[in-house]
Chain A
Amino acid sequence: MSSLTVLTTGPLATIQDRGRAGQAALGVPASGACDRAAYELANRLVGNHEGAAAIEVTYGGLTIHADTDLLLAITGAPCTGVPLNAPALLRSGELLRLGPPASGLRTYVAVRGGLDVPPVLGSRSTDLLSGLGPSPLVAGQTLQVGSLVHPMPGVDQAPVAHPAAGQVVLRVTPGPRRDWFTDAGWASLLSQVYEVSTNSNRVGVRLDGTPLERARAGELASEGMTHGAIQIPPSGTPVIFLADHPVTGGYPVIAYVAAADLNACAQLRPGQPVRLVS
């Protein structure tokens, strides 16, 4: 059986797949790869089945040792020192080191055959909020590689753009609690240049900026939220929910990020300027 050993993890490396959709009524968050497009591309490039487990690397720093010959594909944030968006062979005994990414935050490493860890509630995703699925990767850990594969797609290189390095514009639509904010608050949301906070993680991207004016005081009874919800906590600055977001939340959702821009959201890095447009 094929395997690889993790030598270093960088700030955070987790195993991810498509997550646990359909169980939100039980309080089980969806989780799964944050940048779904990059994750799916990595799997496709090595002929994996849809939903195969891959590694999500946050801000580079992963080093793996090939215990056997491995066919890999690396996508998402372009880390220095590794081939990108192309299938690549890593010979038994060789090392793969992901340097810091030139832009973006999350890089995906898919291995032909997929990572073979036990599924929890139908998914191999690490959910940091609820503690479901495998623990984040640690140095010294050996991962088995599965064997269920499609034929190789015969693609040498996928032509995809790198995540943006400068200001990112995200399209939004009004959320269910838009009316909890004044028109001035809504205008402020759509006119200011926010900065991604260092407090961001797989649960949510926190934005630093000028607090929004509320039209209504008081508390909201907790209600269901989905990926891309923009919650406004009492601080008045937005939190955009990512893959590990809780099933329900108690702060008003002023807007939602358009589904087409969720992958860009997952690649935002601390300090990056962001604008929201309607």
Chain B
Amino acid sequence: MRILPSGDRALLVELDDLDQVLGYYAALAADPPPEVVDIVPAARTILVTTRGDLAGLSRSLRELVPARDRRTSGELIEIPVVYDGADLDDVAVLLGCTRDDVVARHTSASWTVAFSGFAPGFGYLTSDGDWNIPRRTSPRTKVPAGAVGLAGEFSGVYPRESPGGWQLIGRTSVRTFDASREPAALLHPGRRVRFVDAGRG
């Protein structure tokens, strides 16, 4: 663990990999140090913002014991997906398999929300599977809400219509972000997800 300066109010914790991020984030979220305002996990880092002093925060972060097995212990939700995405054929070519194989791999994998970003409620889901999907060479200007995509080692669901460069493999009618709901983001860090094939509806 490396702790990097981030202004007068925050420290950036740099970790080795996503598994460490999941473990440390779970420990921080369960028992945040006093006066912490925000904890933002990302791919290799966790940003911690505080109202208190940075030296105290730094000590607390160094003493933190990461949680174990974060990929298997979060609350599990199921998301039905219609697998008819515009990039499904391209993804099959990239993986050297058929469309049905892509669907089988996506639905059989156990996904965990590692972090959010890009837009409110956009969760970056990581899995035990071996995904490495390049982004589209030219991003779409409009990706519809509910589109299910792949990029790098991650899968995600677009919470609302936005531009986007992920490879789209399907769509869901589940609302992943609703400002009138508590919590507003369905796919918040630590949650586990299983995608279910809802057929061609």
Q: Which B residues are CB-close (under 8 A) to A27? A: 116-123, 185
Q: Which of B8-16, B57-65, B85-93, B98-106 faces chain A?
A: B8-16
Q: Give the interface size bracket for B toward A.
A: 35 or more
Among A37-45, A103-111, A209-217, A253-261, the stretch in contact with B: A253-261
**A28, B5: Cβ atoms under 8 Å?**
no
**Nearest B residue (CB) for A225:** B47
- Nearest to B118 among chain A residues (CB) is A27
Interface stretch (choices B33-41, B74-82, B164-172): B33-41
In the complex, the chain B residue whose C-beta lies closest to that of A230 is: B7
Complex CA gap A131/B6 in Å reads: 27
Chain A residues whose C-beta falls within 8 Å of the C-beta of B117 in the assembled complex:
27, 222, 246-248
Nearest-Cβ distance from residue A209 to partner chain B, whole angstroms: 21
Q: Which residues from B are CB-within-8-Å of A174?
A: 5
Cβ-based interface call for A25 (8 A): yes
Whole-angstrom distance between the alpha carbons of A22 and B41 in the complex? 13
B residues 35-59 with Cβ under 8 Å of A?
Answer: 37-47, 49
A132 within 8 A of B: yes
Q: Does A86 count as interface, using CB distance less than 8 angstroms?
A: no
Interface membership of B71, Cβ < 8 A: no
- Cα-based distance from A58 to B120 in the complex (angstroms): 25
CA distance in complex: A260, B9 (Å)? 11
Q: At the interface, yes or no: B179 with Cβ under 8 Å from chain A?
A: yes
Contact A223–B119 (Cβ < 8 Å): no
Interface residue tally of chain A, by bracket?
35 or more
**Does A89 sit within 8 A of B, measured CB to CB?**
no
Cβ of A191 under 8 Å from chain B: no
Contacts of B42 in A (CB 8 A): 221-224, 248
Task: Give the residue of A28, A221, A260 whose beta carbon is less than 8 angstroms from that of B120.
Answer: A28
A-B contact pairs, 15 of them (CB 8 A): A24-B38, A25-B38, A27-B116, A28-B185, A30-B38, A130-B120, A132-B120, A173-B8, A222-B42, A224-B12, A224-B38, A247-B40, A248-B115, A256-B5, A259-B9
Kindly list 15 other residue pairs between chains A and B, CB separation below 8 angstroms, not including A27-B116, A256-B6: A22-B37, A26-B116, A26-B188, A27-B120, A27-B122, A131-B160, A174-B5, A176-B14, A221-B42, A222-B117, A223-B43, A224-B40, A226-B47, A259-B9, A260-B8
Q: CB within 8 Å of B: which residues of A?
A: 21-30, 120-121, 130-132, 173-177, 221-226, 228-229, 246-248, 253, 256-260
Q: Which 6 A-B pairs have the closest CB atoms?
A: A224-B47, A256-B7, A224-B40, A27-B116, A176-B4, A221-B43
